[in-house]
């Protein structure tokens, strides 16, 4: 077995045997990987705190034939602030589910990893609209997995467009006035403009946008439709997100 060291975030865990855990880590170097953490179920274990959900750390492990085996780790940020707030916890759980559902094991994606960590740090503050932040991350995840939106040209004919009232679910982008609107979602001009801003801007610029609930709902309809059309599973956290929005 060869030694492997990388930064990573714990996105999912599962009890394994009597005292161990299976741990899914989204890593900077190798994307999503599955690791066995020996004794991690015990509170006194040196692996206990470094394998808690959302823990961001430096991890050292041995690469086996099918799985990694966790050797040691050092916490960079435990993101405890996310765990103690229901809304932040639900959004961060949703992000972890998206990573788990959309990425293939062992496929490196350092840019998406950086976006994911940035999103967690921003979510851990009180200075940004959480819902728009998550929409921004969704768009970056779609781009990283081959479903990025083209909002500057017609997705059907390629003609340059300034705005559109339709988003194609087949070709992932805005549609000009001359092209067919089949397999598309109708949205307002305001929602299209916000969608284009989020699609092209870094997440730390999300605070520049201030929109109403209706526009947020339109944008979510677009991203959720693309996710549901292209990925096998639906994040369970979506139900809790809907509950939070309705409160």
Round to whole Å and give the CA distance between 120 and 94.
11
Per 3-state DSSP, what percentage of the chain is helix, strand, and coil (rounded to 5)?
40, 25, 35
Round to whole Å and give the CA distance between 29 and 185.
37
> By the 8 A CB rule, do 158 and 178 touch?
no
Round to whole Å and give the CA distance between 101 and 104.
8
Grade residue 244 by pLDDT with cuts at 50, 70 and 90.
Answer: low
> From edge to edge, which strands make up the β-sheet containing 166-168?
173-174, 166-168, 184-186
CA dihedral 216, 217, 223, 226 (to 10 degrees): -160
Give me the residue label for tokens 């598309």: 184
Round to whole Å and give the CA distance between 184 and 197.
20
- Report the half-sphere exposure of 215 (CA within 13 A, side-chain side): 15
What average pLDDT does range 77-102 have in this prediction?
A: 92
- Six token digits for residue 113: 């990893």
Helix (H, G, I), strand (E, B) or coil at 74: strand
DSSP 171-196: TTEE--TTS--TTEEE--HHHHHHHH
pTM of the model: 0.92
Q: What is the pLDDT of residues 6-28, one digit of tens each?
A: 999 999 999 988 899 999 999 99
Q: What is the pLDDT of residues 110-128, one digit of tens each?
A: 999 999 999 999 999 887 8
Q: What is the pLDDT of residues 134-149, one digit of tens each?
A: 999 999 999 999 999 9
Strands (E), the chain: 2-16, 20-27, 31-37, 56-63, 68-77, 166-168, 173-174, 184-186
CA dihedral 105, 108, 112, 114 (to 10 degrees): 120
> By the 8 A CB rule, do 191 and 164 touch?
no
- Six token digits for residue 27: 């890593």
> By the 8 A CB rule, do 69 and 33 touch?
no
> What are the chain's domains?
3-78 (2.40.50.140), 86-246 (1.20.1440.120)
Pair type for strands 31-37 and 68-77:
parallel
Q: What is the pLDDT of residues 151-173, one digit of tens each?
A: 999 999 999 999 999 999 999 99
Tell me the chain's radius of gyration from C-alpha atoms: 20
């Amino acid at each position: 077995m060869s030694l492997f060291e990388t930064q990573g975030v714990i996105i999912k865990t599962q009890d394994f045997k009597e005292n161990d855990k299976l741990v899914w880590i989204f890593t900077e170097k190798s994307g999503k990987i599955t690791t066995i953490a020996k004794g991690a179920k015990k509170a006194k274990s040196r692996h206990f705190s470094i394998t808690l959900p959302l823990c961001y750390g430096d991890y050292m492990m041995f690469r086996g034939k099918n799985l990694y085996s966790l050797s040691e780790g050092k916490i960079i940020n435990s993101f405890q602030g996310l765990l103690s707030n229901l809304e932040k916890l639900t959004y961060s759980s949703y992000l972890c589910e998206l990573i788990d559902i959309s990425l293939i094991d062992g496929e490196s994606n350092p840019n998406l990893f950086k976006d994911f960590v940035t999103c967690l740090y921003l979510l851990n503050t009180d200075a940004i609209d959480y819902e728009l932040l998550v929409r921004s991350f969704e768009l970056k995840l779609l781009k990283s997995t081959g479903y990025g939106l083209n909002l500057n040209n017609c997705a059907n004919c390629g003609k340059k467009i300034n705005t559109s009232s339709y988003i194609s679910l087949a070709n992932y982008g805005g549609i000009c006035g001359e092209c067919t609107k089949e397999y598309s979602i109708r949205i307002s001009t305001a929602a299209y403009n916000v969608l284009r801003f989020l699609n092209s801007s870094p997440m730390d610029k999300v605070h520049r946008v201030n929109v109403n609930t209706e526009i947020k709902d339109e944008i979510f309809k677009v991203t959720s439709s693309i996710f549901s059309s292209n990925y096998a599973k639906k994040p369970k956290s979506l139900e809790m997100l809907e509950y939070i929005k309705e409160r």
